[in-house]
Amino acid sequence: MLKKLFSFGKKEAKAAPVPPTPSVPKWSEPTIPFLDYYALHFHEMELDAAERAVREHYLVQGEAGTPGALLAKQGAWVTAYFPEKTVRGLGFNRQASFIAREQGTWVIGYRIYQGEGLDVHYFRSNEHVEQLAFSTEGIEFEPTDPELFAALGDGSLVLPRSATQHPLDFHFALLAAIGIADAALSWEEALARHEAAALGDSRLLLFA
């Protein structure tokens, strides 16, 4: 009994530690540069209407005369590119939902943080259709049903995402599938394209 209570006698040999299993990436490395991207896409809106909406909801806290957004119309979509200073602490997704409701149209908004993750929201009028949320810890939400976007284009070739496709590549592939061009442009890249007259019908918006 004493031997049992106080562990007298020969100690049991400890098992050899099991070496850790090398971590296997869930997906391949992104083919698109993992930079900062802050953008909105408006469906079937004219540039003037998009400018009014962006000025009302986003150009509210910057230094007068400095660039706050860049609009570009290509096909059925108007894209708004933003520098980080414009969207910081603004309630980015909430403002996007307001515009979708006011205009009765699709609005896709996202913030992508260099090398860290992305947060994408898909709005249609007063409906929050879907979300794509990804961080270094994994994917929390992602769209899988191509029928959700059937009115915009054929998403069946990219939805659902393949297991090896990086979420960043998937995000931009889905945008391309529904007719959104030049989405993968950082603020600096979009501005350079605009200044070179290589971004379609575009206009730079300054803070008032």
In whole angstroms, what is the distance from residue 74 CA to residue 179 CA? 9
Predicted local distance difference test score (pLDDT) of residue 157: 92
Summary mean pLDDT of the chain:
91
The burial class, CB within 10 Å (0-12 / 13-18 / 19+), for 94 is: exposed
**How, if at all, do strands 37-43 and 201-206 pair?**
unpaired
* Interatomic CA distance for residues 207 and 56, integer angstroms: 11
Look at residue 22 and tell me whether its pLDDT is greater than 60: no
Q: How big is the CA angle at 138 (ends 133 and 141), to the nearest 5 degrees?
A: 30
For residue 18, name the pLDDT band (cuts at 50, 70, 90).
Answer: low
Res 11 pLDDT > 70: no
Flag whether pLDDT at 15 surpasses 90: no
What mean pLDDT is predicted for residues 157-173? 97
What's the confidence (pLDDT) of residue 116?
96
Work out the average pLDDT over 68-82: 98
CA distance 183 to 72: 10
How far apart (Å, rounded) are the C-alpha atoms in residues 100 and 125? 5
- The phi-psi region of residue 125 (left if phi > 0; otherwise alpha if psi is between -120 and 50; otherwise beta) is left
Domain extents in the chain = 37-206
* pLDDT band per the 50, 70, 90 thresholds, residue 10: very low
Poorest-pLDDT segment among 1-15, 18-32, 91-105, 188-202: 1-15
